[in-house]
Structure 1
Amino acid sequence: MTERLAALVDEAFPRAVARWSPFLLLARPAIDPDEEKLPARVNLRARTLTLGAPAIEARGLEGALEALLAHEIGHLVAFPGTLVAEARLRLLERTFLPRRARPLTGVFHELLINERLGGALEEDLCAILSSHDTTAWRRDPAFVFHLAVHEELWQRPPGELMGEAFEAFEAEFPGYRADAQLLAQNLFALAPNVTLQFLYFMSIALRYAIPPEGERAAEAEPECAEGEPSPEEWAEALVPQAAEKQAVRRAIEERWFPQEIAKVLAEQGIERRSAAMPGQSLGRSGIAEVMAAHYRREAERFLFKPPPVRLRADELVPTTLDDWEPGDPVGAIDWVATLIGRGETLGAAMPMTRERMADEEGLEDTVWQGRTEIYLDVSGSMPDPTRSINAMTLAAQILAMGTLRAGGAARALVYSTEHESHWTFCRSERILSRFLMSYIGGGTEFPFDVLNDSVEEQRREQPVRIIITDRDFDGNYDARPENAPIFARAAARSPALVLLLHAPDMKAARRYEAAGAKVVPVRTLDDFPRMAAALSFSLFDRPAEGPRH
């Protein structure tokens, strides 16, 4: 069977590709000799096609391979096309629809693809659709309803595609045929705004989204489109695009949904959309990773280069060549020597590095490197950053990422009544960003002992120190008599000690400035990201100086 199927695929695959574009480059589909449930599936992450030989033979679909492949290719190139597009629709669905075993995005995309491929492939597509087992339709009525929409779209006899579910479905959902006719008539005219089409589809299919009372929700069969969005893709989907906002406004204005659903739809803020993420598949750590990615995207708009901190390092001169190995810094590759010595072909596969060593031990030169030490207040006065936007956390993300983008390193500490730290200077945006999503809640107690230890530990290479907090810091400062000298010593030895201070008491702020710190007052919480960006200019006001002792 596999050899015969391979020969048929060789004929059908180029025609299926041409249905979308003659210039589309895709790998030939793999054939799975053990797949018995799905005749075909597509992996949106790997962008690969797989055919299930036993399933194709059992359903008698050898003659419909072109339609089968063209449909799967449609998931790759159009609907959804990308996992970000899939994530956007899922978030929209989950803002007002209870969790389902199968998101309604699946049957929605089936309709869009098959409508595009109809005509010459209609008969083969009908053969594929009618091969589905609909005996367990009560567990997922929406799947059978989408078969009814296909019947209306192509003017097929009622029940031809719905199979054994036809009579029972009609008894359970009187009037479903009128709904199917409405969708077949109006859905495709709403293109090219896919979000608008999805909302219209949902407004009608909502009736069939929840199984009849007493039935356990389940998939009729596995989805043919595989692949879950990554944290970065979920993060990109969290912010609605202009087309999404336009679609929501129109859906509300034309009253496609009941008032309670329309009210929820109108609130497409970060809190609402982040709450709609699939916690069951992502888990709490996965949701925190998504929100960290979202904060990184937000921080991109405010990035800055921190002031360089003068370090001393031996003057290095190039010496002997050695083979570059995976894991070595890419910047260490000597491409000129590689291409001269090994040629273009071999050199690209086996680059060489040039070892560098001090020409004379003890001979030093100035090296510039940005180093930032961040103290972030995560007390109960601010929201959990994994659930909504925390302005202080975003400011910390901006400062940390700005340091790394400038080629420097950063470390961070979050504090409330207790504190947690990532106290190794780090150059990984992902690691620092993920750590800064930590949340403690409770009261505020700044760790002056940690600040003091840091000043002593970094005697020679003092970093820029930034404290992000509110006026609760004033009480911490006065709590113990030794705190003020620790603060003054940190200000004296740091290239800059900066307080990003929310709603400060200006008398207290002048006291911190008299101790040698720079205070950046933040009037409202929403100003934190902007002030974090402005901090970059304040730190560049004068040429960088060496560390003060």
Structure 2
Amino acid sequence: MNWREHWPAALRAWGRFTKVHDPMWCATTAEANKAGLTSSFAMFRLDDRTVVLDVQAATELGLSDFPVEVMAHEIGHHVLCPADLADHARLLGRVRQGLPNLEQHAPLVANLYADMLINDRLQRSRGLRMAQVYERLADPDSTPLWTFFMRIFEILWSVPSGTLTRKEIDSSMDGDAQLGAKLARVYATDWQRGAGGFAALCYRYLAEQAEGDFAQARRRVCVGVVGDGVPVPGLTGMDTEPITHPALDPRVNDFAPEQAPTENPLQGAGQYREPFEYGQILRQLGLSVSDEDAAARYYRERAAPHLVRFPVKTRPLSSEPLPEGHTAWDIGEPIETVDWVATALRSPVVVPGMTTMQRLIGRTEADESDRRPVDLDLYVDSSGSMPNPRQTVSYLTLAGAILALSALRVGARVQATLWSGTDEFLMTDGFVRDETAVMHVLTGYFGSYTAFPIHILRKTYLERERAEPTHIVVISDDGVDTMVQAADELGRPGAEIAAAALAAAGAGGTLVLNLWSDEVEERIRSITPGWDVSRVTDWQQLIDFAAAFSRRQYERSRS
């Protein structure tokens, strides 16, 4: 079978103007595995919009007579569902909400749901032989999940029971399949909203199966793969619309009681996923990311709306004169502008307006270094009283990201230090312009006791000469008193080092502290003279502080 010659017909199934570049036809399963297709016979790669087909596996499944149907189905993932990475991520998020404690099966359920919508469109509206495709895929040893899925197609396409299914179907499964078929039609053009209900229908079949039983279903559905390093925007936000089981959904079940619209307390409240769930969804999308990389992506996205505006460079003229040559001096111009040396060199006889010369003076553009913003020296508390930023939202990390990324955006350098107990610190290699290095530090975690790394202040400002003005920011709580009440490893008092570092930094210092009482605030102010103490009473207030500080510190300096 020459699959290549059927590709134009597969494209036409979705319209004359559908454009997708030629697929990757893999003659053997081994070749398909090298292309990233490992658990199925076909897939649509969402990162580069490429159809990948394992011809050997498709032939073994008896699908060599259906090239148009197989390839048109894969194109449907580009045209209909999920169409792009952002929608795929939202689809996974909705499915996960419908699978509490079974979220690991979200990719399979999302793929079944998308396949159901695409196949129904191709069978009913395009006249393709999707029912015959699944008849070829019928398996007498099918699992309850696959039997339930096939029964939905039998209902959708009005084919006799047993055409696509090979197991006995009880009344409970048949009722679920009836709801699934109605859901497919009701939410055909609003498929994001229906995804959670479909997941709820699949829940009991997933719970009843052993992990090894899912291999059969995975081999019979197509998979979408996303390449490593692909950005997936909009994933930190959480879909707050509640999941409704189709049996309770009046749009699906005519006998469901009409529910008065109730206000969802989460709706529109700006809810966000936790970092651990964000990382899980990235991996279920197909990205191979570490906890560190996932956390860095999470806090970058959360910080983005609060960053300073991208700077607009101005070019003011310098007051420094720039000689640009000579021109004739004429009567009526200021006498003091005559260049008598140039006049004498031109002629020993001075004839006003004829031999007199004057110098042309221009101006140089300002050196950009004259307008360089102050550097940022950032210290973020990572003691046991602080959350692990890779598991739950850490507003300390988020505030640090807003400050650091804003500084980097306008051309400043950043030194970031994460600290906890004695000798427990992680820092960048001095002041850097490397965003990845800064985020690596900010998303780390120690969770130990509290001991400010006073020796870093000493080495940064007292043992070296800082030529560039720097602002020091410390994000902590009342544990910041270890900065001034303890001594360094050389026995030098912390208060003395902190005061000297503040003076040497040249652009001030700010202590951003979560303090529970006015008395504690007064005590901190009394032991840290010269420092600007900004108090918050809730960690979430750090976002407002960081955004306001960045605008005040950096927007004026470059735009």
TM over 0.5: yes
- Residue in structure 2 matched with residue 382 of structure 1 by the alignment: 386
1:30 corresponds to 2:24: yes
Residue 485 of structure 1 and its aligned partner are, at CA, apart by: 1.4
**Residues 304, 399 of structure 1: 8 Å contact kept:** no
Q: Give the superposition deviation at 1:445.
A: 0.6
Corresponding residue pairs, total: 465
Report the CA distance shift for 1:248/1:180 in structure 2 as closer, same or farther (over 3 A).
Answer: closer
Partner amino acid for 1:248? I
The alpha-carbon distance between structure 1 residues 136 and 411, as it changes in their structure 2 partners (threshold 3 A), is farther
Q: Is the 8 A contact 1:101 1:217 kept in 2?
A: no
Partners of 1:232 and 1:399 lie apart in 2 by 25
Q: Deviations over 1:319-347 (max 9, x none)?
A: xxxxxxxxxxxxxxxxxxxxxxxxxxxxx
Q: 1:305 to 1:440 in 2, by over 3 A?
A: farther
What is the 5 A alignment of 1:121-520?
121-122=126-127, 124-132=129-137, 134-138=139-143, 141-162=144-165, 166-167=166-167, 169-170=168-169, 173-212=170-209, 216-222=213-219, 223-228=221-226, 236-240=234-238, 244-248=239-243, 270-271=273-274, 274=277, 277=280, 286-304=290-308, 366=370, 368-417=372-421, 418-455=424-461, 456-480=463-487, 482-494=493-505, 495-503=507-515, 505-511=520-526, 514=529, 516-520=530-534
Shift, 1:174, TM fit: 4.6
Change beyond 3 A, Cα 1:502–1:266: closer
Displacement of 1:391: 1.1
What do residues 444-501 of structure 1 show as CA deviations (whole Å, max 9, x unaligned)?
A: 1111111011003243234322111111112442234711111111111212222112
Query: How far apart in 2 are the matches of 1:403 and 1:253?
Result: 51
| Contact 2:94 2:195 (C-alpha < 8 Å) held by counterparts | no
CA shift, 1:528, in A, is 0.4
User: Which residue number in structure 2 is paired with residue 118 of structure 1?
Assistant: 123
Q: Is the 8 A contact 1:90 1:103 kept in 2?
A: no
Q: 1:159 is aligned with what amino acid?
A: G
User: 2:66: which partner in 1?
Assistant: 64
Taking the aligned partners of 2:54 and 2:210, their CA distance within structure 1 comes to 35
Residues 306, 370 of structure 1: 8 Å contact kept: no
Q: CA 1:286–1:492 in structure 2 vs 1: closer, same or farther (change >3 Å)? A: same
Largest Rg, 1 or 2: 2
Deviation at 1:364, TM superposition (A): 12
Change (3 A) 1:198 1:233: farther
Give, in angstroms, the shift of residue 275 of structure 1. Answer: 7.7
Deviation digits for residues 270-312 of structure 1, max 9, x if unmatched? 239728826987999723322221111111122137999xxxx
The aligned amino acid for 2:48 is A
- Higher helix fraction (1 or 2): 1
In 2, distance between residues paired with 1:483 and 1:214?
57
* 2:537 is the alignment partner of 1:523: yes
SS of residue paired to 2:44: strand
Q: Tell me if structure 2 keeps the 8 A contact 1:295–1:397.
A: yes
1-structure distance, mates of 2:248, 2:129: 40
The AA in structure 2 aligned to 1:498 is T
Q: Give the distance between the partners of 1:134 and 1:409, measured in 2 at CA.
A: 62
**One-letter identity of the residue aligned with 1:510:** R
Instruction: Describe the SS at the equivalent of 1:100.
Output: helix
**Taking structure 1 as reference, are residues 182 and 365 closer, same or farther at Cα in structure 2, changes over 3 Å only?**
closer
Corresponding position of 2:13:
19
Matched with 2:3 is 5
- Deviations along 1:249-290, one digit per CA (max 9) or x if unpaired, are 79898599xxxxxxxx98975239728826987999723322
Change (3 A) 1:366 1:439: same
Q: 1:453 to 1:475 in 2, by over 3 A?
A: closer
Paired AA for residue 478 in structure 1: Q
Worse-matched range after superposition: 407-416 or 52-61: 52-61
CA distance in 2, matches of 1:203, 1:286: 30
1:53 to 2:55 alignment: yes
CA distance in 2, matches of 1:293, 1:543: 28
How far off is 1:421 after superposition?
A: 1.2
Secondary structure of the residue aligned to 2:274 is helix
> Which secondary structure does the structure 1 equivalent of 2:547 belong to?
helix
TM-score, with length taken from structure 1: 0.74
Q: Structure 1's 213 and 497: CA in aligned 2 closer, same or farther, altered over 3 A?
A: closer
**2:136 & 2:368 partners in 1: Cα distance?**
76
How high is the TM-score relative to the length of structure 2? 0.73
Following superposition, the deviation at residue 406 of structure 1 comes to 0.7
Deviates more, 1:412-421 or 1:89-98: 89-98
The amino acid across from 1:530 in the alignment is: D
Q: 1:76 to 1:213 in 2, by over 3 A?
A: closer
- Which of 93, 106, 112 is the aligned partner of 1:107? 112
Identity over the aligned pairs, expressed in percent? 25
Judge which range, 371-380 or 481-490, deviates more: 481-490
- Please say if residues 299 and 398 of structure 1, whose CA atoms lie closer than 8 Å, have aligned partners that are also in contact: yes
Return 5+ residue gaps in structure 1 as ranges.
Answer: 257-264, 309-314, 316-362, 545-549
Which residue is 1:82 aligned to? 84
Specify every segment of 5 or more residues in structure 2 that has no aligned partner in the other structure, as ranges.
31-38, 253-264, 314-319, 321-366
State the distance in 1 between where 2:550 and 2:209 align. Answer: 59
How far the C-alpha of 1:212 sits from its partner, in A, is 4.3
2:279, 2:557 → 1: CA distance?
Answer: 48
Counterpart code for 2:3: L
Distance (Å, rounded) in 2 between the aligned partners of 1:78 and 1:111: 11
Against the structure 1 CA distance between its residues 291 and 136, is the aligned structure 2 distance closer, same or farther, given a 3 Å change threshold? farther
